[in-house]
Homo-oligomer: A and B are copies of this chain.
Amino acid sequence: MNTTPHPRSTRDRPAKPPLSRDAVVDAALALLKSEGLDAVTMRRVAAALDTGPASLYVYVAGREGLLQAIQDRIIATIELEEPDRLRWRGQLHTLLDRMYRALVAHPGIAATTMTEPPSMDATLHLLENILGLLLAGGLEPQDAAWAADIFALLVSYAAMEADARRTNPREQADELYQRFTSLSPETFPLVTAYATQLVAGDSEERFHVAIDMVVDGMIARATRR
């Protein structure tokens, strides 16, 4: 047997499981869930996989591509609704609420969904489902198509607000209320008078009201034709 005592290569491959796209995304997702978006750096992900950051570029198109893969993973966990003409509105709320919760369970990811055109599989399935619900409700196709964008936006925003609240629980609304009520009533008669309304509702409540406003608006538009 040849037992030459030469230095062990730092690229000792058989000692580590081979990387894969799934492994990379899994590691990133775990970091996201436990430490939030800022922890999802190429170095941190690579360290979690016992490798170096340059190794990841085979599997993901940079950090941007990694974040997209994570988003799609998260969206893929959302249970869809079978459109029902009689219940579509409640179903829409349910579906968007699930999306909201999926985002909130991953601190910080909501902000990365904001400008993503729907192009990956899970996101497209979600879009298809939203369209299905809106059309089941008899809404105009053009309005439905545009509203899908708006609903996605509302979800992302609500999740971002929930993220901000997590960092600063309860303190934010209080500070804001203080700010509003300490303004000059001469200069800001409405803001001071309606300070309570301006800070009312948690992000979920505001979120569901926002959905309703958009839906009610679409119904009014459809009724008008």
* A contact residues vs B (CB 8 Å cutoff): 111, 114-115, 117-119, 124-125, 127-128, 131-132, 135, 141-150, 153-154, 157, 160-161, 164, 172, 176, 179, 183, 187-191, 194, 197-198, 200-201, 206, 209-210, 212-221
CA distance A161 to B117 in the complex (A): 10
B residues near A149, Cβ cutoff 8 Å: 206
Residue of B nearest to A189 (CB): B128
Q: Is the CB of B114 within 8 A of A157?
A: yes
Residue of A111, A119, A161, A191 with highest tally of chain B CB at under 10 A: A191
Given A153-B153, A220-B216: A210 touches B146 (CB 8 Å cut-off): yes
CA distance A143 to B150 in the complex (A): 18
- Specify which of B115, B206, B213 is in contact with A164 (CB 8 Å cutoff): B115
The 12 sampled A-B contact pairs (Cβ below 8 Å) are A118-B176, A125-B187, A142-B197, A142-B200, A143-B209, A146-B201, A146-B210, A212-B221, A216-B218, A216-B220, A217-B217, A219-B220
